[in-house]
Amino acid sequence: MLPVLAAPAWMLAVVFVPLAAALLCFLLPRRAVILGLVAAVLTAAVTFALTLEVAAAGTAHTLLGGWAAPLGILWRADGLSAALLAMTALVGVTVSLYAAAYFRDDAHARVFFWPLWLLLWTALNALYLSADLFNLYVTLELLGFAAVSLTALGGGAAALTGAIRYLLVSVLGSLSYLLGVALLYHSCGSVDIGLVAACIPDAPRPASQVAAAAMMAGLILKTALFPFHFWLPPAHGSAPAPVSAVLSALVVKASFYLLLRLWLDVLGGGGRWAAELLGLLGVAAVLWGSVLALRQERLKLLIAYSTVAQIGYLFLALPLAVAGGAAAWTGALYLALAHGLAKAAMFLSAGNLLRFGGHDRIAELDSAVHRLPLTLTAFALAGVSIMGLPPSGGFIGKWLLLKAAFAQGRFGLVVVILLGGVLAAAYVFKVVGHAFTPAARERRLRTVPPGMEWSALLLAAAAIVLGLTLPLISPLLQVGAAPAAMATAFAAWSAA
């Protein structure tokens, strides 16, 4: 009895605990910090419980309102959802600890950070659980508004401009997605992922294809794939450090997850031409993002452009995965998880350096290593994962992609994957190198609370450890994965 009840109860808690906490934080602003911290720990705990449950007992379902599809909305937690939920929980609880210290002296930001951040967390969890295309639209909007409001919390003109551009792009992306949902609903008479997937091969031809294209286009815009990345660096670069960490590590992953979910579970995992096109954009993103990251003079913008490049890797995997199957999908997912952890660690480290020196100009980071050894260690470890050096999570992801690329004889992609790693090494060492140079002159420096240093280090260490846990995570990702037979059906459909 208990195991049967367990998964739906955890699913309920995963969405409702952060939601209830967000309302409480809004009602009781003076207690927001302690409420937020308790809620973060609780949310992480129930999320890990759900993840373990999914790993042990397989895909979990909940019928919301007790109604089955097509009338009702379903929650569905399979391995892919569980892995991203767990990553979100780990980053979320660490960023919460960090934010408690970061916003200590800023009463305004403190009061509004907690409800907004907990609502963002609610939106992420709701998005990863939902198996309903229209409900996913609502979670996307929730996620977008929370992210925009948090970006604006930076307060200055740059943060406001970044937030407004982000809002316009986010709403445009959601509308494009919604247009696709409207066409799919009228093609299939349902918005349930399972039912739509079953109907897609027989759906009216141009309608379902245009629907898929509109949804993909909206999600690509939200994921900031080159050349739609223009909005990302200004927003991620001007937000407060814990917000930047959440935006880069978690928010762009959510739209990528949804894109992957559509590709695999709704469209059946085929689509050769679309995959090649997106792969090409991914290649451009890796090169363009890395080169621009190298040219930045400010640390947070460097890290933001690095996100543009790393998103490129996720899309570069698509043609390999469509042609070669499981290993490349696992590689892309591994890169997404590793990037989430490592990029959060990098932005938190940048926040420490910014707090310490009062600026984030890379050329003036001299001697930071002596004062903030933990922060610099965190940045370097995160850098190891971003570069893709063993034994990090980033290494496993790239290694799986390289293996697939070699097996398929795609040597051009091999070169790009390796070149992206070399460029990443160059921009990571640019930062670390400046931090090691002795200080030219003493400046007025502020202390950094130890909690902020340790949070960054914890996430960076997690990005490394992720590389050693492939035997644990690979089976989790396979839980509830779409059967490969669907792929051939889709291939026949899309070729016509």
Partner 1 sequence: MSAQRATPRHGGGGVQAPAGAARPVPADTALPRAARVLLALVLLAVFGGLALAVLALAQPAPGLAAAVAGRIDDSGVSHPVTAVLLNFRGYDTLLELVVLVLALVGTWSVGRARGCAGNAPGPLLRQLPRLLAPLMVLVAGYLLWAGAHAPGGAFQAGSLLGGVGILLCLSGQPLPGWAQALVLRLAVVLGVAVFAALGAAAALLPGGAPLDWPPAQAKTLILTIELAAMLSIGVVLAALFAGGRP
Partner 2 sequence: MTQAVFWALIGMALVVLGLYALIVHAHLLRKVLALNIMSSGVFLVFIGLARRTPDADAPMAADPVPQAMVLTGIVVAVAATGLALALIVRLRALTGRTTLGDDMGD
Binding site for partner 1 (CB under 8 A): 8-9, 12, 16, 19-20, 23, 26-27, 62-67, 70-73, 108, 112, 115-116, 119, 122, 126, 134-135, 138-139, 141-142, 145-146, 148-149, 152-153, 169, 172, 179, 183, 185-187, 189-190, 204-207, 209-211, 213, 227-230, 233-234, 292, 295-297, 301
Interface with partner 2 includes 186 (CB under 8 A)? yes
CB under 8 Å to 70, separation ≥6 — which residues? 189, 190, 191, 192, 195
Picked from partner 2, partner 1, none, the partner binding residue 119 (CB below 5 to 8 A depending on kind) is partner 1
Residues 179, 287, 327, 489: which binds partner 2 (CB under 8 A)? 179
The nearest distance, CB 340 to partner 1, in angstroms, is 23
Residues 72, 108, 230, 495: which binds partner 2 (CB under 8 A)? 230
**Which is closer to partner 2, CB of 30 or CB of 186?**
186
Helix (H, G, I), strand (E, B) or coil at 165: helix
**First and final CA of the chain: distance in angstroms?**
49
Residue with tokens 């949070």: 455
Structure tokens, 61 = 């379902």
The nearest distance, CB 32 to partner 2, in angstroms, is 20
Residues 163, 285, 381, 459: which binds partner 2 (CB under 8 A)? 163
Tell me the C-alpha distance between 492 and 104, whole Å: 58
Residues 9, 55, 111, 182: which binds partner 2 (CB under 8 A)? 182
Taking Cα atoms as reference points, which of 428, 306, 436, 447 lies closest to residue 365?
436
The nearest distance, CB 292 to partner 1, in angstroms, is 6
Picked from partner 1, partner 2, none, the partner binding residue 175 (CB below 5 to 8 A depending on kind) is partner 2
**Which is closer to partner 2, CB of 73 or CB of 322?**
73
Tell me the C-alpha distance between 75 and 87, whole Å: 19
CB under 8 Å to 2, separation ≥6 — which residues? none
Helix (H, G, I), strand (E, B) or coil at 367: coil
Picked from partner 1, partner 2, none, the partner binding residue 30 (CB below 5 to 8 A depending on kind) is none
* 385 contacts 341 by C-beta, under 8 angstroms: yes
The nearest distance, CB 404 to partner 2, in angstroms, is 36
Tell me the C-alpha distance between 155 and 236, whole Å: 14
Please count the CA atoms within 13 angstroms of the CA of 366 that sit on its side-chain side: 9
**Which is closer to partner 2, CB of 67 or CB of 406?**
67
Instruction: Tell me the residue type at 26.
Output: F
- Chain positions 96 to 155 lying near partner 2, rule: CB under 8 A, are 134, 138, 141, 145, 148-149, 152
Q: How far is CA 338 from the centre of its chain?
A: 10
Q: Is the bond into 70 cis (omega within 30 degrees of 0)? A: yes
* 266 contacts 188 by C-beta, under 8 angstroms: no
Residues 178, 283, 428, 462: which binds partner 2 (CB under 8 A)? 178
CB atoms within 10 A of CB 340: 27
Interface with partner 2 includes 171 (CB under 8 A)? yes
Summarize as ranges the residues that interact with partner 2 (CB under 8 A).
Answer: 134, 138, 141, 145, 148-149, 152, 156-158, 160-161, 163-165, 167-168, 171-172, 175, 178-179, 182-183, 185-186, 230, 233-234, 237-238, 301
